[in-house]
Amino acid sequence: MRHYSSDPATGAGQTQNGAAATDPESANPPGLLEVRNLSMSFGHGQSSLLAIDKVSFAVKPGEILGLVGESGSGKSITLRSILGLTKRYGQVEGEILWKKQDLNTLTNRALQKIRGREIAMIFQEPMSSLNPLLTVGLQITENLKAHTKLDRTERKKKAIELLDLVGIPSAAARLGDYPHQFSGGMRQRVMIAIALASEPELLLADEPTTALDVTIQQQILDLILALSREMGMSVIMVTHDLGVAAQTCDRIAVMYGGRLVEVGPVRNILRNPRHPYSIGLLRSVPENVPPRSELYSLPGIPPGLGNRPSGCCFAPRCLAATPRCSEEKPDLLQTSEKVALACFNPQNFLSGNSQ
């Protein structure tokens, strides 16, 4: 067993080739983004509330990583902390290595150059993140102006291309439309088009389909997936829906109570989860169970920010908890080449139907 959070190279070796992990300069591409021991707490001093606690993970070029968890697990805060969006609410500690540069130490001005250009972000509510008073065309060209050297006509051409790329019919005609003239799914496409304007290497997607209907969700997920494959763009996707994660992500990181509890390739996590929380989450999804049978349900509710237990956050709801669990926080340790786990008593999930 290796200590996951203190090994700088684990991220690079996570998914594909564990043997090469110790040599970061080998043929194995290094992690594009490496987050090490990232903590974020709201407020300062005595009354501060720890929202995320020593989160470490890495994203490789072209990879789609899913951050999965329930409300209050800290998944959105983790995502927002990467771009320094949470700094004004409290303290952010740890390293966020982006191309050998620690984003956490950068000034806001320096971060501005990376935001939107190298790392772009899309949100759950496209309406609240688009400016309602500006036309969609203007908002895209604005972004192109800030991040590329294209001239006016080229920018317009590029804007049409982008709208076309994200599947907005008669793109040229819609440049002059305002956000409210688009439907929810179309707005999300516009947001993605704006995010793509600078050809980012990493896209941070915060519940991009939660506000959408399933048929539209499917379209948007397919779009993100295709764009990632075509442009070699990495994606970190925050979602609470295991189905969404299963259908889009290469790797999944499960969060609970502000900590990562299990990280690994999507098939490992969804077929053979070891952490009791991952198991419980998976089993409470009513798929492949007899209709109207009693669903597996985790007892209790997720802890709030202010009342997280001192030991493992999941211990009070965990059926496999031992006294040690309520005293000590388990570290995220590498259990196999690809999977890391934070649990003293890993369980086995009987694959498929567990009834």
Partner 1 sequence: MTDTQPLLQVKNLTHHFKTNPPLVDLLLRRAPRFIKVLNGIDLHLERGETLGVVGESGCGKSTLARCLVGLYPPQGGEILFDNQNVSHKTRAEQRDYNRRVQMMFQDPYSSLNPRMTVGQVLHEALSVHKMRPEAEIPDRIDELLDLVSLPRDAAGKLPHEFSGGQRQRVAIARALSVEPEILIADELVSALDVSVQAQVVNLLLDLQDRLGLTILFVAHDLRLVRHVSHRVAVIYLGSIVEIGASDSVFSSPVHPYSRALLNAAPSIDPDHKTSIPPLSGELPSPMNIPPGCAFHGRCPHATEICRQEKPLLKKFEGHGEIACHHAATLA
**229 binding partner 1? (CB under 8 A):** no
| Residue range at the interface with partner 1 (CB under 8 A); choices 88-96, 110-118, 129-137, 213-221 | 213-221
Window 298-337: residues binding partner 1 (CB under 8 A): 298, 301-302
Closest CB to partner 1 among 43 and 286?
Answer: 286
Is residue 221 a contact point for partner 1 (CB under 8 A)? yes
What is the token pair recorded at 228? 């990632």
Nearer to partner 1, 103 or 192 (CB): 192
186 part of the interface to partner 1, by CB under 8 A: yes
| Residues whose CB is less than 8 angstroms from the CB of residue 276 and which lie 6 or more positions away in sequence, other chains included | 314, 318, 319, 320, 343, 345, 347
Q: Tell which one of 18, 61, 243, 346 touches partner 1 (CB under 8 A).
A: 243
- Output the smallest distance, CB 206 to partner 1, in A: 17
**Does the footprint of partner 1 cover residue 224 (CB under 8 A)?**
no
Of positions 46, 47, 71, 170, contacts partner 1 by CB under 8 A: 71
| Interaction between residue 218 and partner 1 (CB under 8 A) | yes
* Inter-residue contact 53 to 330 (CB < 8 Å): no
Q: Which is nearer to partner 1, 179 or 200 (CB)?
A: 179
Choosing from 46, 105, 215, 353, the residue that interacts with partner 1 (CB under 8 A) is 215
* 217 lines the binding site for partner 1 (CB under 8 A): yes
Nearer to partner 1, 120 or 190 (CB): 190
186 versus 325: smaller Cβ distance to partner 1: 186
Nearest residue to 303 via CA among 40, 69, 36: 69
Hey, what are 199's tokens?
């050809």
Q: Does 205 bind partner 1 (CB under 8 A)?
A: no
240 near partner 1, rule: CB under 8 A:
yes
Q: Which of residues 123-142 bind partner 1 (CB under 8 A)?
A: none
In the region spanning residues 283 to 302, those forming contacts with partner 1, defined by CB under 8 A, are: 284-287, 289, 291-292, 294-298, 301-302
For the chain, the C-alpha Rg in angstroms (whole number) is 21
Nearer to partner 1 by Cβ, of 31 and 185: the residue is 185
Total interface residues for partner 1 by CB under 8 A: 41
CA atoms within 13 A on the CB side of 170: 5
Q: Which residues bind partner 1 (CB under 8 A)?
A: 70-71, 183, 185-186, 213-219, 221-222, 240-244, 246-247, 266-267, 270, 280-282, 284-287, 289, 291-292, 294-298, 301-302
